[in-house]
């Protein structure tokens, strides 16, 4: 994690919990924008040495 306050994924299947929201614009580094249509928690397995740690974003 780079200290981001929000994390995004186009893959809804990654979300452990998901709630639909009114579209919110997300401004990308290339100047384009896309709309977020939901929010929630994503559970991920990340490598940590010789094992994997489960984290929730």
Structurally, the chain folds into a number of domains equal to: 1
5 occurs within a structural domain:
no
7 occurs within a structural domain:
no
pLDDT on residue 7? 80
**Domain interval for residue 30:** 12-56
Model pLDDT for residues 1-57, shown as the tens digit of each residue: 566 777 888 888 889 999 999 999 999 889 999 999 999 999 989 999 999 999 998
pLDDT on residue 33? 95
| pTM tops 0.85 | no
pLDDT on residue 2? 61
- Alpha-carbon span 53 to 4, nearest angstrom: 19
2 occurs within a structural domain:
no
pLDDT on residue 6? 79
44 occurs within a structural domain:
yes
Is residue 43 within 8 A of residue 55, CB to CB? The reply is: yes
Q: What is the DSSP string of 1-57?
A: --S-S----S-GGGEEEEEEEEEEEEE-TTS-EEEEEEEEEEEEEEEETTEEEEEE-
Phi, psi of 12 (to 5 degrees): -60, -25
């Amino acid at each position: 994690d780079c200290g981001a306050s929000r994390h995004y994924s186009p893959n809804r299947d990654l979300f452990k919990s998901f709630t639909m929201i009114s579209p919110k614009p997300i401004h990308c580094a290339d100047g384009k924008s896309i709309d977020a249509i939901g929010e929630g928690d994503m559970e991920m397995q990340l490598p940590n040495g010789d094992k994997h740690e489960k984290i929730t974003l």
